[in-house]
Structure formats: structure tokens, C-alpha cells
Amino acid sequence: MTVLDVTDLTVDYPQRGRGTFRAVDRVSFSLVAGRTIALVGESGSGKSTVVRALARLVAPTGGEIRLGGARRTRGAAYRRAVQMVFQDPFASLNPAHTVGHHLRRPLLVNERARRGADVAAKVAELLRSVNLTPADDMADKRPHELSGGQRQRVAIARALAPDPEVLLADEPVSMLDVSIRLEILGLLDRLKEERGLALLYVTHDLATARHFSSEVMVMYRGEIVERGPSDEVILAPRHPYTQLLAAAAPSSGASREQARAARAARLAARARRDAERREVVAGDGCRFRPRCPFAMDACTRRPPEVRVGPGHGSRCWLGADGGGRPWP
Ligand code: ADP
Ligand code: MG
């Protein structure tokens, strides 16, 4: 069941000097209950801006965000239903407040009618659901008494307090010790399953994107350039950018051959890059063109997103030439 529909989402930031910078350009996707979709791409590609727009932290320049089909997007119902886990567990909790306080607040806002005893029980239940036990001890602790992983568990519990339908997790483990990353991702995965959450997992790590999500969307300079079933996109990428990305991350399962091809592609592209970069930024062509080993004349026009396999789309003229049909 589709929970959140995003259509042609566009976000411009005002730029120092003059004009605006388009960080997100006509991005469309849907989040489905009980499923994880990964949003991957290198730093600066616009992933966090998508999340911020969905969390109503930035105002979109264009496009539509719809919750549950026709329901209202503004107002308290949306804010309750769409919750977020931030990247930095050290910055996201107020050091002055106890864990219990962090969890009581969202519970009270959304369940005003509840009596004190119920709220305490609810706090304990939330803490147990993220494996922070004994719950009573944990509720009295302050953030500085907790490890990074424990703090992120609190942040997750806080996001769950309003009983959301959508959870936006923006690089939720990238600031944690490597040794506990999988634990936290496993926790998110279990909570998604148990609560039927629609989970957007933002990461630049293809290996965990593949492992924890059913679908992957690849972002490059504000656009989704490829999307599809995780294994397809990461093991058999069709867009030249995804091919580069997958080859640069051998742990994701990409072959050695892919890595060699990508190295050659990088060399071939380097010569072309600088001269063309200015032109591409100004024009409406494929944004990957300056780095693309397959760049051709058609690429001065924006490529359509074409179907290159079941549930698999690529925004590239190569796919279009190969007989791909318009997406979706
Ligand atoms: P990602 O999360 O993929 O690293 P972001 O969404 O944070 O990407 O940023 C996308 C682009 O928008 C980057 O080029 C970044 O410099 C720019 N950007 C992000 N936030 C702002 C802002 N508040 N004002 C202006 N530009 C911004
Ligand atoms: Mg980011």
C-alpha cells in the first residue's frame, strides 16, 4: 500500500551572489508500507534535501507530496505521520533532558488525553522496542551517559513515539562505530516489519542499501538517474553513473571486471570533464555527461527515464536506444 507519493519534487536554494541553486530536480517516487527504499548517491547529490522537503524542513519550489493518497499534507496529521531519524546522534538529543523527557514530549503532544501513568508505560515500551533496557534506568539517563549507538536508539524511539507511517532515516549509522552499524540497521529493519513502516533509507553505502532495502534509487546532482530492485540496480546497473558507483564499492558485490571498466571510464572522462562542465550546468542535458564515458550528441538533451527491466528504470539515452519504454 502506497503511503507517500512524491511527484516532480523540486527544491531551489538561494545562492550567495545571485540566483538559485537547484538541489532537487523533478524527483518522483512512492513509499510503500512495510518496505524500505534506499536513496543512494555521492555527497552533494541532494539526498538530504529530499528528506528535508519530506520532513517539511525546507519548502519545495515545485512538485507535490501527498500522504495516503488524498490526505492533507500540511498540518499536524502529516507531521505526526512522517518522522525522521537524523545522522548525528550527538546533535539530535538535547543534553539538558533525560531520555524519558525526550520520549514523553512527542507522546504527550499526540496523546494529550493520556494520563501520567500511561505515558510512563508507553515510554518504557518504546525503550524496550529499541532494546534499551532496563527501561526504567534508561529513562532517567541523560544523553552524555549514553554511547552513540544508544543515543541513536533513543532517537529512533522518539521518532516512533507519535506512531508514524513513514520513517525517514538520513545516513542513520554513518557517524556510528562500524561495529554497531549493522545492529542499528537491523533494528530499523525489524521495526519497519513490525510496524509496517514505509522506510526511506538514505545512504552512500551500496552494500547496506542492497541488504536492507527492496528497491534502490540512485541520485546524481538532484535527479534520480536509476531505480529498481536492489540486486538489479547494484549488481547489474544500467546507468553509467550507477556503474561507476557500484564499481567503486567492491564490497557491494560488483565484479572485478566492473571495477576495471570503471577505472577506464574515469580516465576517459577526465579529459572531457572540465571543458563541458560549465555548459552542462547551464543547459538541460544529462548532468552526468561530463563524466560519462558514453557521452554522445543526444546527451545535450535531458534523457527520459526508460524501463530497462522489470521495475527497473534508467534516465539515460543508452537505455532509450536499446528499446527501453518510457518509465514507469
Ligand atoms: P546530500 O545529502 O546528497 O549530500 P544535500 O541535499 O545535503 O546533498 O545537498 C545538495 C546540494 O545542495 C549540495 O550542492 C549542497 O551544497 C546544496 N545545499 C544544501 N543545503 C543548502 C542550503 N541550505 N543552502 C544552499 N545550498 C545548499
Ligand atoms: Mg546528506
Q: Is 45 touching ligand 1 by the criterion CB < 6 Å?
A: yes
Give yes or no for a contact between 310 and 244, defined as CB atoms under 8 angstroms apart.
no
Sign of CA dihedral 182, 186, 187, 192: positive
215-247: per-residue pLDDT in tens?
999 999 999 999 999 999 999 999 999 999 998
Starting from the CA of residue 174, give the closest ligand.
2
Q: Whose CA is nearest to atom 17 of ligand 1?
A: 23
Q: Whose CA is nearest to atom 5 of ligand 1?
A: 46
CA of 46 to the centre of ligand 1 (A): 6
Check pLDDT > 60 for residue 274: no
Check pLDDT > 60 for residue 204: yes
Written as one string, the DSSP assignment of 22-63 is EEEEEEEEEEETT-EEEEE--TTSSHHHHHHHHTTSS--SEE
Q: Is 23 touching ligand 1 by the criterion CB < 6 Å?
A: yes
Check pLDDT > 60 for residue 22: yes
Q: What is the pLDDT of residue 278?
A: 44
Q: What is the pLDDT of residue 13?
A: 95
Separation CA 33–CA 165 (nearest Å) = 7
Q: What is the mean pLDDT of the chain?
A: 88
Give yes or no for a contact between 279 and 298, defined as CB atoms under 8 angstroms apart.
no
CA of 86 to the centre of ligand 2 (A): 10
Give yes or no for a contact between 103 and 161, defined as CB atoms under 8 angstroms apart.
yes
Phi, psi (rounded to 5 degrees) for 226: -155, 145
Q: Is 90 touching ligand 1 by the criterion CB < 6 Å?
A: no
65-78: per-residue pLDDT in tens?
999 866 566 688 89
Q: Is 41 touching ligand 1 by the criterion CB < 6 Å?
A: yes
Separation CA 38–CA 145 (nearest Å) = 32
Q: Is 48 touching ligand 1 by the criterion CB < 6 Å?
A: yes
Q: Is 52 touching ligand 1 by the criterion CB < 6 Å?
A: no
Label the pairing between strands 223-229 and 215-220.
antiparallel
Separation CA 27–CA 4 (nearest Å) = 13
CA of 293 to the centre of ligand 1 (A): 26
What is the percent of the chain with per-residue pLDDT over 70, rounded to a whole number?
83
Which atom of ligand 1 is nearest to 171's Cα? 2
CA of 172 to the centre of ligand 1 (A): 17
3-state secondary structure at position 236: coil
pTM of the model: 0.89
Give yes or no for a contact between 312 and 216, defined as CB atoms under 8 angstroms apart.
no
For a pocket test of ligand 1, which of 10, 15, 18, 21 has the largest count of ligand atoms closer than 8 A to its C-beta? 21
Which atom of ligand 1 is nearest to 58's Cα? 23
Q: What is the pLDDT of residue 16?
A: 83
CA of 142 to the centre of ligand 1 (A): 32
Q: Is 46 touching ligand 1 by the criterion CB < 6 Å?
A: yes
What cell numbers appear for 325 in the block?
519504454
Q: Which helix (H) or strand (E) holds 215?
A: strand 215-220
Confidence of residue 116 (pLDDT cuts 50, 70, 90): low
